Amino acid sequence: MKKILITRKLIKESEDKATKTFDPIFNNNDELYSQSKVIEMSKGCDGILSSLTDKMDKETINKLPDTIKIISNFAVGFGNIDLDAAKKRGIAVTNTPEVLSDATAEIGILLILGACRRASEGIVSAQEGGWKWSADYLIGKQLTGSRLGILGMGRIGQKIAKIAKSLGMIIHYHNRSKLSDEKEQGAIYHDNIKSLFSVSDVLSICCPATKETENMINKETVEYFPKGAVITNVARGDIVDDEALIDALNRRKIYAAGLDVYKNEPNLNPGYNKIKSAFILPHLGSATKDTRIAMANLAIDNIDEFIEFLSYPNDANFESDIYELIDWTENKFKSLDFKINRLETKTIPLLLASKHISDDYKTVLIYMHLDGQPVDPKKWNQENPFIPVYKIKDNESFIDYDSNKDMFGNLLF
């Protein structure tokens, strides 16, 4: 049986599943392991089931024993893991998408309601007693008819959008790529954050913490919002520059904040505790029993599947691999004077390239498919690139062309 280190205590049902599947090392006292302890304890293990409290930085990853083949993170976010370092050591990294989206979207909505309707002040007043009802007592902001900006309209963002719509909010969003009509559900796309923030009466941050999104809410960008906007964050603390948000709250540029996540958790910036209009929660996003069991079970299955079949559907490095492939393909088409539109990034189709050729307006839809199989970006590299199969839009139908064999391919390359 394969040996795995499980760095944090799981709910009993999941630990039972792990015992049936592997020879696991449990953390019975739910101790917070130091990085050196994780390295030490993972000796002789095939994989690590880590959690967001484990900082798997470059130094830690480089010191992991050679037997470690996979880090399966017990979270959808993987800001705690240096993906490049893992990739360089040939260690797979997986996450737990989807199973936590409903629970996290519920907290996302709670943050919006709590911040807009002054729940923190209300709770304190109710507990202290002696409050006096009046027509203008603790009046807040009503959601009906107000504009909700969603920064990162992925799995969680789309669920928040659906609930917020039923509360009468008008949905705007920004992603790096525009969603399909089906996923947009009538939401209005903005191709940059300035445009999104300027129409956001309320913002819900739902994008991952990456180098690109770090401190996206900062001194400059808080000024893009309408005066009296509300900012909520259910994603990760690293996306917000705390000093800038606290200053904007104190100046009342920003009316209220609803936060579930922070930089340096659990030691959040003390400035938040002094602000009455801050509705703050201790990272509760996925905290329901069913969700935590589903997450841990998926994290276990990710290791099992990887060890059994060398496949890992919840590959945390997928995005960086696929972007390398997309960037290369996009540049090829651009050099041939095609106009490029990026569609979705995580599902095919990915690129739409169009150009006038003779009297025809050719539109090429680029699928990352090879011989009918989805392209594995891991098997692709710039030194030995294969060209993905293109589909050429012909009125409403799509015709398959393999650029390595077909005329159209010859025309292009």
Report helix, strand or coil for 297. helix
Residue with the CB atom nearest ligand NAP in the bound state: 154
Q: How far is the CB of 52 from ligand NAP (least distance, A)?
A: 8
Active-site option among 190, 236, 292, 330 = 236
Cα 32 from Cα 27, distance rounded (Å): 9
Active-site option among 8, 117, 283, 292 = 283
User: Could you list the residues that contact ligand NAP (CB under 6 A)?
Assistant: 76-77, 97, 100-101, 104, 152-157, 174-177, 206-210, 212-213, 234-236, 260-261, 283, 285-286, 345
CA atoms within 13 A of residue 62's CA, in its CB half-sphere: 5
Considering the complex, state which of residue 21 and residue 175 has its C-beta at the smaller distance from ligand NAP: 175
CA 362 to chain centre: 34
Burial tier of 83 (Cβ tally within 10 Å: 0-12, 13-18, 19+) = buried
Q: How far is the CB of 267 from ligand NAP (least distance, A)?
A: 17
For residue 397, list its beta bridge partners.
Answer: 394
Q: How far is the CB of 205 from ligand NAP (least distance, A)?
A: 8
Please, which residues have CB within 8 angstroms of residue 299's CB and are 6 or more apart in sequence?
Answer: 49, 72, 73, 74, 94, 96
Q: How far is the CB of 275 from ligand NAP (least distance, A)?
A: 20
CA distances from residue 380 to 306, 326, 386, 387 in whole angstroms, order as listed = 20, 11, 7, 9
Considering the complex, state which of residue 42 and residue 94 has its C-beta at the smaller distance from ligand NAP: 94
Q: Which of 173, 146, 159 is nearest to 109 (CA)?
A: 159
DSSP-derived secondary structure for 351-388:
EEEEEEETTEEEEEEE--EETTEE--GGG--TTSPPPP
Lookup result for tokens 């025809």: 360
Considering the complex, state which of residue 38 and residue 179 has its C-beta at the smaller distance from ligand NAP: 179
Provide the H-helix boundaries in 42-146.
58-63, 83-88, 101-116, 119-128
Q: How far is the CB of 208 from ligand NAP (least distance, A)?
A: 3
Would strands 188-189 and 202-205 be described as parallel, antiparallel, or unpaired?
unpaired
265 classed as catalytic? yes
Considering the complex, state which of residue 54 and residue 260 has its C-beta at the smaller distance from ligand NAP: 260
Cα 245 from Cα 212, distance rounded (Å): 18
With beta carbons less than 8 A apart as the criterion, state whether 286 and 295 touch.
Answer: yes
Considering the complex, state which of residue 94 and residue 175 has its C-beta at the smaller distance from ligand NAP: 175
Considering the complex, state which of residue 94 and residue 213 has its C-beta at the smaller distance from ligand NAP: 213
236 classed as catalytic? yes
Q: How far is the CB of 349 from ligand NAP (least distance, A)?
A: 14
Q: Which of 147, 142, 152 is nearest to 169 (CA)?
A: 147
Considering the complex, state which of residue 114 and residue 152 has its C-beta at the smaller distance from ligand NAP: 152
With beta carbons less than 8 A apart as the criterion, state whether 352 and 341 touch.
Answer: yes
**CB atoms near residue 12 (< 10 Å):** 9
DSSP-derived secondary structure for 135-159:
TTTT-----TTPEEEEES-SHHHHH
Q: How far is the CB of 156 from ligand NAP (least distance, A)?
A: 3
Q: How far is the CB of 278 from ligand NAP (least distance, A)?
A: 16
Active-site option among 13, 40, 243, 265 = 265
Considering the complex, state which of residue 81 and residue 156 has its C-beta at the smaller distance from ligand NAP: 156
Q: Catalytic amino acids?
A: 236, 265, 283
